[in-house]
Structure 1
């Protein structure tokens, strides 16, 4: 299928009206917002429960460890039994995860909350993205991919800002953000109930992840680029608020959350600006920007410059957004209709491995050598890998044009 194709000829008929499409995007936004509410609160949990940066990254890794198996099961399951039957239990798990954080009395509650949130996002990500594609009134898969990525990144950024704002200026800082999330999940559940009860003729059965042969090359390159893009997201979500506090000397919780939100806002704006651009071009332009942002992040720590850190955040966020949109658009356009959520879930699995695995190493190094050193090493290593993936993508793109 051509990268420029915007209409899926094999799509199932979509219901009339646009409200279900945008309402489904709201459900994705709220789910992602809830899972990132803890980001600016970890410093408070560290002080209250007495744990190290390594434990913060392990709490985050527990989320990813549950999320990925959930993704790989829920994607094909929703293709077989319908989106609604998978998404309603996912929303219930998300509400229970927020409740665990609101009631947290020790680190065990934090692990439980993150595990529940991981299961919820794993179950919902592929089906919600597939539902957006099915519900887009004109069948425009490129637009569906854009709305999905902006809603996802918007939720990632909105969570830290909302939690930081409430924690800094409202009562019950470790309770109120999660109560708000539970309330906002109620209309999301009503939206999911309204979705059409589609299902395929086949029966679901457990199977190992497998990518259709005719799209494995695109999946490998886009998956690698998105792995690196979301490794950066993982470090920003878990450790950058503390990194900002170290450079600025400020203990304001909103400032740390705002630094994360700035990166994700730049990511979302870059995606809006990149709409209608060829998917591969987005990745080819985004990877060098991501690498440059990481180099600036390392330098900012070395010279203790908060201003340079903010510049690095803008550059890295812009690169991350372009890489993510390009990768998801490529997968969304090439995935066969009967395995749409299945393939998307596998792609999200690669993406969330990037979120979870590198950050454990950064947390371990931060415990041994200090946070500033750990972030500097991470930034330099991932910048080099971005250049390597960029070279592979450029060669693949050149071969494609030669064949044409």
Structure 2
């Protein structure tokens, strides 16, 4: 429910832009402020969760998400959007590590691989549902900038009920603030898993922030449902792939996913140059499949090596690094698009990200099997 709500504003930014009169660069900054608040929140939320328990962290996180939805309902200027996105970042930054760790602890048979699959699928699938839902309501429902967030509030009410079923117990004593600490023996494995996740989510960030406008330019149609579907289908492909490969050897190895990401980026750049709808859809399918494999493999590796007594702390550090891959590329692509054009920005992003994916894929192929 949290990740559905987080991505609900994506196709609505075009409506906000026409009503409030701000530039495309502001859209990317509104999008990026989410990562700007999530990252510092994740710095302390994991250790706090290990000290006070899942319920006491997840409950306030859901409440903050609800306040953010109310701010979106009341928005009459861009400052409201910044404030709402900042609260969403705090909410997800607090809850991501806590809820992922809770999935591992509450999995009935203790199957960490299954818990990792569920965590990855709910994050990516929820992220994909949000833009499609908002695009449909934005295009076909009355008062979409109000009704959309009322629907989100109803979803968050269900999430609040679910929070009451989380384990209450804490693992540690009195909490004291400190940055996330990764045990020394785990750092090399943690760093490689984080690099894999960063690359996957950097491509997601490009799709969520830029592809609605990109799709409109390709298809020459201004349709919020089209924009939302264009953004959401990438993550829906990712979630579907995570289930499809769950029982195969691919599920635990990120190399194939990273190579699919590079192919998807190339197709996306080609779609912009040729205005090809089919190449655009292929880019979403290929890139989404790659992201699904890479994120699932990375999250499973972190769950596999994290000590039970500090699992939420290690997972929060993982999400903190991952969302650097969300915020920084969006800002860079936004500035470049403002200085040149959208196609040039997407092509440049692809040219920079592709060799990084290839290098990390080579490293993962050489060492991933040895780091179990």
> Do they fold alike, i.e. is TM over 0.5?
yes
State the distance in 1 between where 2:49 and 2:179 align.
Answer: 16
Alignment of 1:201-280 (within 5 A): 201-278=172-249
2:321 corresponding residue in structure 1: 350
Shift of 1:298: 0.9
Structure 2, unmatched stretches of 5+, are: none
1:111 corresponding residue in structure 2: 82
1:134 corresponding residue in structure 2: 105
Asked if 2 retains the 8 angstrom alpha-carbon contact of 1:280 and 1:397, the reply is: no
Alignment of 1:18-57 (within 5 A): 30-57=1-28
State the distance in 1 between where 2:180 and 2:313 align.
Answer: 8
* TM, length-normalised to structure 2: 0.97
Q: Does 1:299 align with 2:270?
A: yes
Structure 1, unmatched stretches of 5+, are: 1-29
* TM, length-normalised to structure 1: 0.90
Asked if 2 retains the 8 angstrom alpha-carbon contact of 1:101 and 1:109, the reply is: yes
SS at match of 1:251: coil
Shift of 1:210: 2.0
Shift of 1:279: 7.2
State the distance in 1 between where 2:57 and 2:252 align.
Answer: 34
Asked if 1 retains the 8 angstrom alpha-carbon contact of 2:201 and 2:326, the reply is: yes
The correspondence for 1:173, drawn from 123, 144, 157, is 144
State the distance in 2 between where 1:92 and 1:155 align.
Answer: 18
Asked if 2 retains the 8 angstrom alpha-carbon contact of 1:247 and 1:306, the reply is: yes
Residues 79-112 of structure 1: CA deviation (Å, up to 9, x unaligned): 1011111111111100000111111100000001
* Number of equivalenced pairs: 372
User: Alpha carbons of 1:214 and 1:277: their partners in 2 closer, same or farther (altered >3 Å)?
Assistant: farther
Q: CA RMSD in A?
A: 1.4
Q: Does 1:147 align with 2:111?
A: no
The correspondence for 2:128, drawn from 157, 162, 169, is 157
Asked if 1 retains the 8 angstrom alpha-carbon contact of 2:245 and 2:251, the reply is: no
The correspondence for 1:379, drawn from 347, 350, 358, is 350
State the distance in 2 between where 1:87 and 1:348 align.
Answer: 15
Asked if 2 retains the 8 angstrom alpha-carbon contact of 1:366 and 1:373, the reply is: yes
State the distance in 2 between where 1:95 and 1:143 align.
Answer: 29
The correspondence for 1:322, drawn from 278, 293, 296, is 293
State the distance in 2 between where 1:297 and 1:269 align.
Answer: 20
